[in-house]
Each structure stands twice: as structure tokens, then as C-alpha cells.
């Protein structure tokens, strides 16, 4: 679990770096942000159950940050619907805003760092 949490954290850090690069075009940053979100979600699904069992607050925080970032990269005014049974919210005619993805990525880094610290075995010297 620590391995995947570290991988997720590192992906979110790299996403932050690339999304904050003002030299890249907005479209390039949005495409990059989408790729990072896909990778983060793929790996998070591998630890989601264990995370939700041990720290439901962190699990909810990751999902909310992910939904918020996804809304910004897709150009919606609001994140995707929290209830999957209701389907996605309608897309507003806004443009993707990769700059706003920085804050949700920072929250993902923060939550994953806390998870790594919590789940890492502590060393006991005898």
C-alpha cells in the first residue's frame, strides 16, 4: 500500500510541476493534467478499499480532490456528481482551467504523504 501511495504522491507532485509551468500552453497543460489524473486514479483504485477501511476521511478527501481537479480539466463549472447513480453533471460551456488543478493536486500530495506516514512500518530498535 505504501508503494502505491508513494507513486500516487509522486505523480501528483509531477502534475503540480507541469500544471504550474507557464511556458506550456493552456491546452498542453490541460492534456497533461488529464493524463496525470487518469494515472492517479488507476493507482488509487488499487489502494482505495484499504484506505477507506483505515482512514475514511482521507479516502473521501482523495475522491473529492480528484473530482474537483477533473472538473477543472474538463472545463466544467462544478466537479462530477458525487453519486454515480445520478450520472455526471452537465458540462458547462467553460474552457479547461489547468491552473485551478494545482490546489486539488496539492491536497492529493498532502493526503498521500499522511497515508504513507501512517502506514509505513515504524522501526523498533532492540
37-50 per-position pLDDT tens digit? 999 999 999 999 98
Q: What per-residue confidence (pLDDT) applies to 13?
A: 96
Label residue 73 by pLDDT band (50, 70, 90): confident
Domain boundaries, the chain: 2-119
Extract long-range pairs of 113-122: CB within 8 Å, 24+ residues apart: 113/9, 114/58, 115/1, 115/5, 115/51, 115/55, 115/58, 116/2, 116/5, 116/6, 116/9, 118/54, 118/55, 119/1, 119/2, 119/5, 119/54, 120/2
Phi, psi angle pair for 6, to nearest 5°: -65, -40
Q: What per-residue confidence (pLDDT) applies to 123?
A: 57
Q: What per-residue confidence (pLDDT) applies to 74?
A: 80
Closest CA to 67 of 92, 103, 32: 103
Amino acid at each position: 500500500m505504501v508503494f502505491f501511495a508513494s507513486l500516487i504522491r509522486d505523480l501528483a507532485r509531477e502534475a503540480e510541476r507541469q500544471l504550474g509551468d507557464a511556458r506550456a500552453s493552456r491546452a498542453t497543460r490541460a492534456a497533461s493534467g488529464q493524463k496525470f489524473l487518469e494515472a492517479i486514479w488507476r493507482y488509487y483504485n488499487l489502494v482505495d478499499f484499504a484506505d477507506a477501511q483505515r482512514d475514511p476521511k482521507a479516502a473521501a478527501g482523495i475522491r473529492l480532490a480528484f473530482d474537483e481537479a477533473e472538473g477543472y480539466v474538463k472545463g466544467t463549472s462544478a466537479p462530477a456528481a458525487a453519486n454515480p447513480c445520478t450520472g455526471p453533471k452537465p458540462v458547462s460551456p467553460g474552457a479547461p482551467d489547468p491552473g485551478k488543478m494545482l490546489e486539488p493536486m496539492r491536497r492529493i500530495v498532502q493526503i498521500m504523504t499522511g497515508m504513507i506516514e501512517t502506514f509505513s512500518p515504524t522501526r523498533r530498535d532492540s
